[in-house]
Structure formats: structure tokens, C-alpha cells
Amino acid sequence: MPLASLDEIVSANKVPVLFGKTAGLPTVAANTWTSYFAATGFGTSAPANLTLATAADGAKPNGTTPGAMWLIEPPTPTYKWQLLSATMHANVLGMALIYDRVWHGGSYTPVSGAYSFTETPDMTEYGGLGYTLFVEVATAISAAAHTLTIVLRHNDGSTSTNTVVINASSPVGRMIPVPIVSTAPRDIKNIVSISGSASPPTGTFNLVLARPIFSFAVVAATAAVLADMVVTGMQIVEPDACLAVAFFNPTGTTAPLITGALVFAEGAP
Amino acid sequence: MSLTFADLSNAFSELVQGSKPATLGATANLWATASFQPGAYNWPSISSAVTGATGALLTSATTGALAFPATLTGRTSGSLLLRRVALNLTSANARIVLLSDRVWHYIAVPVVGAYGLTGMADLATGLRAGLAPWLEVATALGATPGVQTLVLEHEDASTSTWTATPPATAVNAAVPFLCTSGVNRSPIKRAVSLTGTTATTGNLCVSLQAPIVAIPGSLQPLGNLLHGIALGARPLRRDACVVASVYLEGTSPLLPLSLEFAVT
């Protein structure tokens, strides 16, 4: 049922979802987002690396996918979850993004021209709204930049052609947001096609469609973050979400050790 | 009976009139600084006695658990809700403090092959929500015992396999098990078997625990007064075996901790 009162929130609390990324930490490049998807935490074993083996149209991971935060209670068929509180500690200043990995595809080897890629299914999670598309470097890119051209379809049926540059020598784990050129609409219904610039580098990358859930601002190294239901905005989270962490280090290249917990209440329609 | 927001204030009045808040900080050896292991989680000083083949179900009466005042233990019905946490972090090395309801554990000497963990009965349905397995060093080990493999059975009768390697040989060092096959969100109802790779002296402990709250460490040593609702605390069983853990870097902190519970 929808959570309409504090009483209902108290009764609807679920067991906290612990997340800790304490081993297998990624290499961090300053002033970029870095994926923690392959770092070791709680629940499911972390993947050996960021290399994906998805179908031609990618895959929709979930809470049991290796690398995801372990959503400890079963998903329910009727109601969604809402983020009630969030706590986190990181020993490096920066920003940690908790996001639902709604879809991912890869790993792709850079090519000149059209990629071997099949148009993805429609994205219906979260009402098809609020996604950010990232390039995630799976194996290090050699000393040449690569420009991707990505055709996206929007919920009104229109398409847009968007470009993003994977910088030369991008390290494993670098996450690069893809700017969307369409001014209206800016939502993403699915990914239609990918093509690459000439003289492609070696290395591999993934595409990740992320639904941001919460951002932890770590204002100083080892500063704690504690957000209650007002601060979290009680964001709706799909109960089968593939929750993951990315970190932005604005001052150096140290990968922080991250520990924390998310508490959900069940009841969003 | 469901807890309501109004219960918090009503029940708290009863609690302060009838008893002092339960206190962890005064519990002997729970926060013994010498036995905390840096670079690891620490689940200190719950009873470390070797258990029988089925392990042991744990309650607030278990040695080392949060000692509940009579206001709580004298009740025959209702639930608990963590209302307030007072935590004094005396070191910035404490990365996070976890409070959990420790439902069950099994303690034995490390062996090669199958441990004597057999015949564990199904946990009562009300104890299964949110359980996750942990591996701890219950008493200091003579050598690193290597990977431990735990097989769990779920409510839907499926099984899952989990592995963990003790992060140290010293007492209290702990690590969560990670699921390597049979990943399943159906609640855990019992442990089926445990397998080791190295025989040594000392004791390892496998436990099933449900998190209550996670309290992040801070930049500077400081005292925190945190509201249980803000932390997302959920109702607990009345005789919960409440224990605390810290993930530590560097030298050991002292962590005086006091909890207050609302009851219905």
C-alpha cells in the first residue's frame, strides 16, 4: 500500500542493505567517475572484472547479479520500495553515486563504423524516466581517443544522435556520462545503434543505463554521511534493482574504501 | 501488532520510568581495544564457546549480547524499536559500526573437509528476515585456515553456496560470506554444512545475523546522538541478541555505545 503516514513508514521498514566495497578497489582517475561494480562487498561475489558477456541487445541485471548490492529481502510483486535512510563512510573526499543499473551491454571492442549491436528492448523501469547513460571502461583504452555515436530513441518515438569521447588511455573503471543532445525529450526509451570513429584504440568498454538513486557528498576524508527520509527524498527503487556504486574523486587518485547501508520501506505504488 | 509512530513517545515514557536504557558500553570486554583487528570487521566477544552439531540459537540472554533491562525481558509479547543511539567515537579509524540481531551461530575448531555442522533445525519463520552469514575468529587461530565454504537452505527449499576467508588469525576479525552459487533472495532458514581447507588450533564462528542499523564513522572523534527512525530502524524481536561490530582502519578506538528501545 502507499505509505501515507509516519506510522506506516515505521511498520514498513525493511532490513538494512549493507554495502561495503573493501577489497578489489578500482583504479581511480582524478575528476572522473569510477565504477565500483567489480569491487568486493556484501552478498553476491563480485565479478572478476568489468568485462561483460551480454547478448547483442545487452541485459537487464538485477539484485542477484554479481557486483550488485545484495538486496537482502525478496522482491514483492505488488509494491515498490522507497529509500528511507542512507548512511555511508568513505576515507576519501568526493561524491558517491548509488544508482540502479537498469541495463548494461558489452563488452565492446572499439571499431570504426557500425558496432555489432542489436536495438535494445524498451526500458520501462521507473516509468521509463530519469536514466543517465554512461560509458564504462572494461579494459584499459590504448593511447588514442575514440568517439562513439549513439542513437537513442525517446518515449515519444523520436530519435537523437549523440556523441561521447572515450579519452585516450582511459583506465579500467572510468565512467563517462553521455550527453544527450535532444532538448525535448531527454528521456531514453531504448538504444538503437552505436558506431565508432576511425582508427579505433584497443581496449573494451560497456554501456550502462543508470537510474541515479542517491548521491553521498563526502565533504572531507572520513566524513560520515547520514541521510534521513527527508534528505533521501524517499526515492522509489525497483525491488529487483541492480544497485551499484560509482565514486567521483575531485582531488586525487586514491580509491576510497566505502561502507554504508541503505534502508528501504515497502509501499510505493 | 504493528508499531506506530505514536508508540515511540508512549513507549519511551514507560521505558525511562521503569528502567535505565540498555547500555553496551559498560559491558565487559565488548569493546576491548587490544583485540580489534585493523582492516577488517570485528564482531567482538559474544560467547566463544564451541557449540554442538546444530549450533546455537541466540537471545538477549546470550553471554556478550546487549543486556536488556527488566522492562524489556519481563514482557511476553510485542516488539522492540531502536529509538535512539548514543555513540562516542574516540577515533577516526572507525569506518562503520553495525548493529545486528545475531540469531544463530556455530563455533568449532578449523578442520580440513566437513565440519560437524549437521542437523540444524529450520529457524522459526519470524527469525529469518534479512539474515546474512558472517565468518569470525572466535578464539585466536594457530594458522590462517583458508577458505571456508558454507551451504545454506532457503525458504523455497533451494540451497546456496557461500565462501569466506578469515581476514586474520587474531580474535574478533570478521568478514561477510559471499554467495558464489545459488544466489537467492528467498529467506535463509538453516545452515546445511560447512567445509574447511586447513586444520589448525583456535575457533572459527559462522553466524546468521540480521542488520539493525549501520552508523558511519566520522572525520573526528566525536559523540553522536542519532534517532533510530532517522537511521531507518525496524521492529525487532523482543529477545533479540543485539551485538555490535566495527570496521576498523589503524589503531583501535574505544566505542562507548548506548541504545534506547521503544517497546509495544
User: Can you give the pLDDT at residue B225?
Assistant: 65
> Would you tell me which residues 121-150 of chain A have a C-beta closer than 8 angstroms to some C-beta of chain B?
none
The β-bridge partners of A217 are A95
- Interchain pair A40, B178: CB under 8 A: yes
To the nearest 10°, report the CA torsion of B182, B186, B187, B191: -30
Q: Which of the pair, A89 or B32, is modelled with greater confidence? A: A89
Q: Which of the pair, A43 or A39, is modelled with greater confidence? A: A39
User: Can you give the pLDDT at residue A15?
Assistant: 82
| Residue indicated by cell numbers 551480454 | A54
Asked if residue A139 lies in contact with residue A48, where contact means CB atoms within 8 angstroms, the answer is no
pLDDT-derived band of residue B253, with 50, 70 and 90 as boundaries? low
Mean per-residue pLDDT, B42-52: 82
User: Can you give the pLDDT at residue A160?
Assistant: 94
Taking CA atoms, A71 is separated from A42, A48, A241, A263, B228, in Å, by 10, 20, 8, 10, 21
Q: How far is A37 from chain B (nearest CA, A)?
A: 15
* Res. B116: pLDDT tops 50: yes
* Res. B15: pLDDT tops 50: no
User: Can you give the pLDDT at residue B73?
Assistant: 64
Phi, psi of B88, rounded to the nearest 5 degrees: -110, 105
User: Can you give the pLDDT at residue A120?
Assistant: 96
User: Can you give the pLDDT at residue B5?
Assistant: 53
User: Can you give the pLDDT at residue B252?
Assistant: 64
> Percentage of residues in chain B with pLDDT exceeding 70?
73
Q: Which of the pair, A180 or B252, is modelled with greater confidence? A: A180
List of chain B residues whose C-beta atoms are within 8 Å of the C-beta of residue A241: none
User: Quick check: pTM over 0.90?
Assistant: no
d(CA A13, CA A11): 6
Lowest model confidence (mean pLDDT) among A175-179, B82-86, B177-181? B82-86
Q: Which of the pair, B142 or B258, is modelled with greater confidence? A: B142
User: Can you give the pLDDT at residue B230?
Assistant: 73
Mean per-residue pLDDT, B216-222: 66
- Interchain pair B95, A70: CB under 8 A: no
Q: Could you report the per-residue pLDDT of A197-240, keeping only the tens digit for each?
A: 999 999 999 999 999 999 988 888 777 788 888 888 888 888 88
Beta strands B40-42 and A258-268: pairing type? unpaired
Looking at residue B208, its amino acid is: L
* Res. A144: pLDDT tops 90: yes
Taking CA atoms, A183 is separated from A160, A179, A187, B123, in Å, by 10, 11, 10, 56
pLDDT-derived band of residue A99, with 50, 70 and 90 as boundaries? very high
Q: Which of B7, B216, B234 sits opposite A13 (nearest CB)?
A: B234
Q: Which of B8, B129, B180 sits opposite A15 (nearest CB)?
A: B129
The β-bridge partners of A33 are A175, A248
ipTM for the complex? 0.84
d(CA B68, CA B30): 15
Alpha carbons within 13 A on the beta-carbon side of A103: 24
pLDDT-derived band of residue B29, with 50, 70 and 90 as boundaries? very low
